[in-house]
Structure 1
Amino acid sequence: MAYMIPETLPRGAKVTAGERLLFGTLKEHLPDDYIVYYEPGIFGRQPDFVVIGPDLGMLVLEVKDYTESTLYELFPKEWRIYTEQGELQTVVNPLHQARTDAFNIVDKLKKDKSLIQVGGSYYGKLKFRFGFGVVFTQMRETHIVKHQLHRVIEPQFMLTRDDIDADREDFDGTTLLERMLDMFTVPFHQNQMLSEDDIKAIRYHLFPEVRISAEYMPPVHHDDQLLLSLHNLQAMDLHQESLARQLGDKNRLIRGVAGSGKTLILSARARLLSKEHPEWKILVLCYGIPLSRVLKSMIHNMMEEPEDLFDFAEMSAEESGNSAAKKHNIETATFHEWLKNTLRIPDAGIEPLLEKVKLGEAILPTYDAILIEEGQDFEPSWLELLSKVLNPETQSLLLVEDKAQNIFRRKSSLSSSTGLDFRGRSKILSINYRNTSQIVNFAWDFYRTHSALKDRVKEGSSVDGVEIIPPQSTKRKGPEPIIKQCANFGEEAAWVARAIRKLHEEKKVPYSEIAILYRVRNRYSYSYVDRLRKELDRLEIPHDWIAEDANSKRVYDRTADTVKLSTIDSSKGLDFRAVFIVNVENMPFKLEENVKREVSLFYIGMTRAMEWLFLSYCKAEGFAVSMKNLRSIKVSISKFEISRT
């Protein structure tokens, strides 16, 4: 079964019956490692289908639902056909359409040094095959012969209803694949096999929404042509890409584990909607201020990045540096910022406003699309209000959440509390890409042991009725979480500062990729944060206290070359290569009655760490006891010796 993007076809008249038939046949009868794109937007064009396979290469298919009565006069370059209204219309030979789409893609990909032949008689050409063809979904072989279509399209470049109708008794999926292979004019050789990295590079260039990061090398010249040099490409996986593309009609819900790429998918979806509907008014909301700044920066960077990466190579540094910021139609804020700045009401004004809306006494702004991150932290009344400002004609609402990170008490179900129905329009993201398997397993062992919701952990592919999703870790390995007990907090703060300097100097971890998280800021006359900052200053480690006040959260800069000090609450949605959680014995906080919230909070803090996780405490109390038990039962803690200075 091939991997289809999107996973299912959109509803409505836009998709023809023939396209639906071909979509289903390709999905069921192509190999598992083939990827099939339906109507992808590529460099200003939109081919009907693009098929990519390791031993196939790339195949572009133009689909026509022409019948016998459609055809009038056929010439090699142009055809005259009857429209549905019975009028004559001149169109381009569909094989020429497919060929133009294919060469449009090829001309771009040939500019990537990693995708061309580096030796032999095909030097400078793509290192994989490409082909193109036409699918006549409503015409059989007899029709092709009767109308002599072979005069204007060679038979090897055509598929008919006989080839794609899986309900026929003599249908054979192997024969279909063989017919598709005939559309390639170059025979297959083993050295043309596409690797996973090759396919990732192709997707990276053709589909901007899948891009996460890449390392750019100086461009090189070949035959007076500038070639782009990229390595260490990071892109969405196919499931994430499919979700970003497909979530469009009516209310949609994604529930994902920590580190599963929920924020990335939401940002990519916002970019897609903005590109496809520049006239739309799009609202992106979350709960926390630091995450809202990350979202805003991520979306801004996505909107600024050119569709064609090769534009970077052809622009001078001066041109790229002086380019004006592009305006877009996406508004990003926290819910409370939006409430204050747009509706100009406090939290207490939501219920009265909803009552006025019901009575027809209030006029609200309208958004064509609303995307919500941290949905688990939104009150039912907030969601109900947002449902009132959503354009009823577009009904484009995406809600992203993780119940395991629910640190507030949303008491009611979405459908009963807000009128938003997500049944049948919900997906699960269960793979954690952010953390190493050691951190994923350690954090989840703690959560499932202590959470009061452990009996509501469910597995499956649909989120209907699911509360907590157990994470699946990737194959990425790293050091075990490091647990340190100190005699007092002064010693603990000094150990943290030395560990940070060691990471920076020996492991080359930038200060911008390190965070210190705490649950309690101070106690009585003693300030934990002040002590941490004093030790960082002593070792001349630059740092920002991003949770000092509302203003420090608003000006949060993820890229600043400073260690970030933050409450665990404010770290939601953020990630760092190394995370230190200090004063663990203060969790669960004695003044917090809701222990369930404390468990979720600690789980959130641990899953902010991408590679290194440090947990420190002085007294064997609270969660510090659990850490000791997990260490003795589950793991052998890696040594991270830090010399005193």
Structure 2
Amino acid sequence: MAFLLPENIPSRSGVPDRLRQVARALRDFTPDQVTVWLRETMGGVPYLVVLDPRAGIMVLDALSLSAAGRRRRKKGRVFDSFDVVSIPTDELVAHAAELHRNVDASAVENLPVHCVLAVPDLDEVPVERLGAADRSLPILTRSDLSRDQLEGALRRVLGGVRIQPLSEREEKRARAVVNPEIILPQPQSETLPLFQDPETRPEDVIRVMDRHQERVAEHLGDGYRVLRGVAGSGKTLVLAHRARHLHRTFPKWRILVVCYNRVLANALEAMVDPDERLEVTNIDRLAYRLAGWSSRRGKPDFDSLVLEAEKKARRLPDSERFDAVLVDEAQDFDHPRLTLAYSMLKSDRLRPDPVQLDRDSFVMAYDVAQNVYRRGGARWNPPGVDAQGRSRTARGRSTVFRKNYRNTREILEFAMNFLAGSREWSSASVDLDDPAALIPPEAANRTGPRPRQQYCRDLRSEAECIASRVAEMLDQGVSARDIAVLYGYSDLERELRRAFSSRGLPYFHVQGKDYASHSDNRDQAVHVRNMVRVSTLTGIKGLEFSRVLVGGANHINVRDVDEGDQFSAAKSQLYAAMTRAMDELEITMSGDGPIGAALREAERLQRVG
């Protein structure tokens, strides 16, 4: 079955019946590799763009008989050109020509691009009775749109030239020609530690969103929605694209993108290019602002601060609230913070409406495997009830992303063996209606070296080992900006600073502050160049690096977590740190502890697997 964008073209209101028939035939009678987009002319008339990797690209609309024509056909009378419903073929031909130029420019060789007409009501069309502009265009008839004929008919109308299917890389480029919005952000690509190209077989890594991500980002649906995905599956990418898409589609809307991590908020800001109607922030900064708290007053009671901010949010005028709110890394939020984010929606969007059931445009993305703060955000649902008096839940509103694009197979396998404590995660069944269920990831095709573990005498030895490895990487030509060092214990950071300084290595502490200038390194961490970023395990969540070195594994202590939950919380933090690595992962540890034992078991499972 072809992949339709959006999925409901065959039943979508506003799409003419003739085009629905064609979309239905394409969906049912062509292979999975075929992609079908719904587009509109400048005048709002729908048409289709079809990419068949074995045949080419079609810009396609459907002729159909008028009501009078259908009556004439039933009575066996002669077809008349006035019986055809006219369509704006000039604009479609121009679009096909533009796509052809862009395909050539994208280095996809010999890919045919044509404007094609479909006539789902007729088996034969007297071409001489068509308009002059339509006579030269290839035509798909009713019989062509059948199960047995359609694949061959597509190759015929596209010239029958292409025999070799597009490679995966060429197919991505062709999709990007049809929908340039799926291309990853380019202006910051050299420095932004999000969605970078790995060094191992870069052709296997997404430079554009995959089709599932594209469908969700542009056709998610209204109301409360949940995006659940494994690490490296593109949740943040989809959320950012969704924000930009809403901003373009509804230019009068006010849109808020919010996350927990300050560094990730700065990365998201670089991606979505905010303005007065598109805001990006982290939740605690939002709470500070609403509650009117100044950092000069010291550190507040955050629980009380968030509750006060939520009360003030509900008293804001709609001019200061939002039409849509999107939350990234929602598993890091507690329930009051998520309720605060939800309260930023405009008041009329929070009131149940029996006609417009999904007015509260609220999207949250999360991965329970990275629930490092044990806050239970995955089990939150919007407060109140809908127009029918029912509680709002994520059932039927969740989309799952399983495929990991970031990590090599070896890194992902090791990280999951460590988190799950066995190899059974790869075959485990998942109850997708359980918001806290762990989703087993599907690995992409990239491979690389297995993660390395180094056992050291103490924290100082760990720092020396890490600094020596960083020096070797730099000597081998790895860029400093592609290396991240993550530590699980604050004392290790002091030792790392000393070890880096003694070797003259570039060092940027993400959590560092310059009290003289009142500057915070977290606000610079995304854009820093030619420096090795050094951070806590969770300080760069959502970002990614070619090489990641993790130290202090046996000394991890998660703040604000009960003693009984320390081991599972530490595993989640270390798993989140491991999955920042795109190409190579190294872990150091000293002393004894349950985390070290779990790492050794993960290594054993990988060896015997």
The interval holding the TM-score normalised by the smaller chain is 0.7 to 0.9
Match for residue 253 of structure 2 among 253, 268, 280 = 280
1:254 has 2:227 as partner: yes
Superposition deviation, residue 352 in structure 1: 5.8
Structure 2 vs 1, CA of residues 542 and 81 (structure 1 numbering), >3 Å: closer, same or farther?
Answer: farther
Match for residue 304 of structure 2 among 313, 325, 348 = 348
Amino acid at match of 1:242: R
Structure 1 distance, partners of 2:122, 2:163, is: 34
Amino acid at match of 1:563: V
Structure 2 distance, partners of 1:530, 1:448, is: 32
Amino acid at match of 2:512: E
Q: Is the 8 A contact 2:176 2:183 kept in 1?
A: yes
Q: Is the 8 A contact 1:156 1:179 kept in 2?
A: no
Partner of 1:177: 151
Partner of 2:2: 2
SS in structure 2 of the partner of residue 48 of structure 1: strand
Partner of 1:319: none
Q: Is the 8 A contact 1:214 1:234 kept in 2?
A: no
Structure 2 vs 1, CA of residues 482 and 41 (structure 1 numbering), >3 Å: closer, same or farther?
Answer: farther
Q: Is the 8 A contact 2:144 2:150 kept in 1?
A: yes
Structure 2 distance, partners of 1:354, 1:425, is: 25
Structure 2 vs 1, CA of residues 64 and 568 (structure 1 numbering), >3 Å: closer, same or farther?
Answer: farther
Match for residue 585 of structure 1 among 554, 569, 572 = 554
Structure 1 distance, partners of 2:133, 2:187, is: 46
1:555 has 2:546 as partner: no
Q: Is the 8 A contact 1:584 1:622 kept in 2?
A: no
Match for residue 93 of structure 2 among 86, 96, 99 = 99
Match for residue 381 of structure 2 among 398, 403, 415 = 415
SS in structure 1 of the partner of residue 222 of structure 2: coil
Residue by residue over 1:471-509, the C-alpha shift from the partner in whole angstroms, topping out at 9 and shown as x without a partner, is 121121111111111122222211110100111112x22
SS in structure 1 of the partner of residue 454 of structure 2: strand
SS in structure 1 of the partner of residue 157 of structure 2: coil
1:334 has 2:282 as partner: yes
1:200 has 2:177 as partner: no
Residue by residue over 1:31-86, the C-alpha shift from the partner in whole angstroms, topping out at 9 and shown as x without a partner, is 222121122799x9986211111221111112456623499xxxxxxx9999xxxx
SS in structure 1 of the partner of residue 489 of structure 2: coil
Partner of 1:54: 53
Fraction of identical pairs, as percent: 25
Superposition deviation, residue 212 in structure 1: 2.8
Q: How does 1:311-390 map to 2 (within 5 A)?
A: 327=275, 329-342=277-290, 344=292, 347-348=303-304, 350-351=306-307, 363=317, 365-390=320-345
1:571 has 2:516 as partner: no
Superposition deviation, residue 430 in structure 1: 0.9
Match for residue 110 of structure 1 among 104, 108, 117 = 104
SS in structure 1 of the partner of residue 570 of structure 2: helix
SS in structure 1 of the partner of residue 430 of structure 2: coil
Residue by residue over 1:600-645, the C-alpha shift from the partner in whole angstroms, topping out at 9 and shown as x without a partner, is 11111111111111111121323112222333443399xxxxxxxx
Amino acid at match of 1:512: R
Amino acid at match of 1:603: Y
Structure 2 vs 1, CA of residues 115 and 81 (structure 1 numbering), >3 Å: closer, same or farther?
Answer: same
SS in structure 2 of the partner of residue 384 of structure 1: helix
Amino acid at match of 1:467: A
Q: Is the 8 A contact 2:228 2:399 kept in 1?
A: yes
Residue by residue over 1:249-302, the C-alpha shift from the partner in whole angstroms, topping out at 9 and shown as x without a partner, is 2222110001111111111222222222222211111001011111111223xx
Structure 1 distance, partners of 2:445, 2:229, is: 18
Superposition deviation, residue 424 in structure 1: 2.0
Q: Is the 8 A contact 2:99 2:177 kept in 1?
A: no
1:398 has 2:371 as partner: no
Amino acid at match of 2:8: T
Partner of 1:469: 439
Structure 2 distance, partners of 1:577, 1:145, is: 61
Match for residue 264 of structure 2 among 284, 291, 305 = 291
SS in structure 1 of the partner of residue 286 of structure 2: helix
Superposition deviation, residue 19 in structure 1: 3.6
Structure 1 distance, partners of 2:338, 2:12, is: 27
Residue by residue over 1:335-381, the C-alpha shift from the partner in whole angstroms, topping out at 9 and shown as x without a partner, is 121222356476525546766888xx664533122211001122223
Partner of 2:464: 494
Amino acid at match of 2:171: I
Structure 1 distance, partners of 2:341, 2:277, is: 18
Structure 2 vs 1, CA of residues 175 and 111 (structure 1 numbering), >3 Å: closer, same or farther?
Answer: same
Superposition deviation, residue 585 in structure 1: 1.2
Structure 2 vs 1, CA of residues 11 and 32 (structure 1 numbering), >3 Å: closer, same or farther?
Answer: closer
Amino acid at match of 2:594: G
Structure 2 vs 1, CA of residues 600 and 158 (structure 1 numbering), >3 Å: closer, same or farther?
Answer: same
Structure 2 vs 1, CA of residues 135 and 468 (structure 1 numbering), >3 Å: closer, same or farther?
Answer: same
Structure 2 distance, partners of 1:520, 1:278, is: 46
SS in structure 1 of the partner of residue 265 of structure 2: helix
SS in structure 2 of the partner of residue 212 of structure 1: coil
Partner of 1:14: 14
Partner of 1:130: 113
Superposition deviation, residue 444 in structure 1: 0.3
SS in structure 2 of the partner of residue 115 of structure 1: coil
Gaps of 5+ in 1: 72-78, 83-90, 117-126, 165-171, 217-230, 304-326, 523-527, 638-645
Partner of 1:485: 455
SS in structure 2 of the partner of residue 475 of structure 1: coil
TM-score normalised by the chain length of structure 1: 0.76
Structure 2 vs 1, CA of residues 33 and 533 (structure 1 numbering), >3 Å: closer, same or farther?
Answer: same
Residue by residue over 1:411-461, the C-alpha shift from the partner in whole angstroms, topping out at 9 and shown as x without a partner, is 78333757543332321111111111111011100111199x98997437x
Amino acid at match of 1:61: L
Partner of 1:157: 138
Structure 2 distance, partners of 1:332, 1:215, is: 18
SS in structure 1 of the partner of residue 253 of structure 2: coil
SS in structure 1 of the partner of residue 184 of structure 2: strand
Q: How does 1:590-629 map to 2 (within 5 A)?
A: 593=563, 594-595=565-566, 596-629=568-601
Gaps of 5+ in 2: 71-80, 189-201, 294-301, 350-355, 385-390, 514-518
The 10-residue stretch of structure 1 (483-492 or 10-19) with the greater mean CA deviation from structure 2: 10-19
SS in structure 1 of the partner of residue 533 of structure 2: strand
